[in-house]
Structure 1
């Protein structure tokens, strides 16, 4: 799948799925824009991209800040003159239950990054994607479709469900312009999302810690491969769809 001369923005690109996806797009010839709050991590991803592909544009930004979101699009267009793919990947996790004392503060912080920022980034990117007949991929979660009693993630799950439906609405609106919009919903993935959310060291989960019907959890490269496929012309008939990669978690 060649993405030669395509311009791709990836939010939350400092680690995990975002970092791996950036490296994969760079390897396929894309001009990649990697976005995140921790510039040091982005520089490390930049170096990995440069080993096999083009050197990406690094933008240190907090997508939950409207001015930062505008700057991401402006700097991308200023450097490359176009935008072909937006991957709304950035996300945080806040553990909560409906009886938690801090549920509303958890909801507000999750809302800003996990839903509001994705909506605003899509709003800003859409005019440029219409020009290139590009596409948008929103990274959701199987937690937006099912519940895990052992994980108190009321706000996170509700917002991922909202992101799924947002995707369908935007797909319907932008289809007339040739812009595709899809969702990818991973199950358990070997990333440090939870550690990042709590400012703690990496808490990567192992196959032994998380039980799935296939007896394993996904590697970020598997999700990156799916993202590249959905973003490519091989998936040009697909829009408004939700692609689940969960090793059978939803069968449980």
Structure 2
């Protein structure tokens, strides 16, 4: 907002819209960032969410479409974006910040709707593994855990 009010947004902000679970959107995000700014210093994986097909009861008793969606959005897209960004982040000695959730921790739960928490727990494990592997290449990888309305 401040950038837009000062007339600087055009040079400092890039907006790429689309379904981040899709390979072409992920590639477009990285490619357009490099094209506009000439480098990539930080990747923030902030997209996340879930859908539930269960009206009553528990997701564990229903079909797996909600599980697939949560894993694709909260875990698989994070891994793939990291894979696409890492060559550039290694060159820049950059950073990755994955936005997790407290329900992904060992004491986290979302009663009746566990798929979101399961996918965020997987993201936490991914973050730890990326951190250990890529610190030797100069890239720091961390996670920030937040609380959501349904926790």
Q: Calculate the TM-score normalised by the size of structure 1.
A: 0.52
Deviation at 1:123, TM superposition (A): 0.4
* CA distance in structure 2 between the partners assigned to 1:75 and 1:167 by the alignment: 25
* Aligned residue number for residue 161 of structure 1: 121
Structure showing the higher helix proportion among its residues: 2
* Aligned residue number for residue 4 of structure 2: 50
Q: How does 1:16-55 map to 2 (within 5 A)?
A: 47=1, 49-51=3-5, 54-55=8-9
Equivalent pairs, count: 143
Structure 2 counterpart of 1:143, from 94, 97, 103: 103
* Aligned residue number for residue 71 of structure 1: 28
Contact residue 130 and residue 178 of structure 1 kept, 8 A:
yes
Deviation at 1:98, TM superposition (A): 4.5
* Aligned residue number for residue 109 of structure 1: 69
Structure 2 counterpart of 1:59, from 11, 16, 19: 16
Judging changes above 3 Å, is the alpha-carbon distance between structure 1 residues 181 and 99 closer, same or farther for their aligned structure 2 residues? closer
* CA distance in structure 2 between the partners assigned to 1:98 and 1:66 by the alignment: 27
Contact residue 94 and residue 153 of structure 1 kept, 8 A:
no
* Aligned residue number for residue 225 of structure 1: none
Structure 1, 104-113 or 49-58: larger mean CA deviation: 49-58
SS at match of 1:60: coil
Structure 2: give runs of 5+ residues left out of the alignment. none
More contact order relative to length (CA 8 Å, sep ≥ 6): 2
Q: Calculate the TM-score normalised by the size of structure 2.
A: 0.85
Q: How does 1:98-247 map to 2 (within 5 A)?
A: 98-102=59-63, 104-145=64-105, 146-148=107-109, 151-188=111-148
- Give the superposed CA RMSD: 2.1
* Aligned residue number for residue 235 of structure 1: none
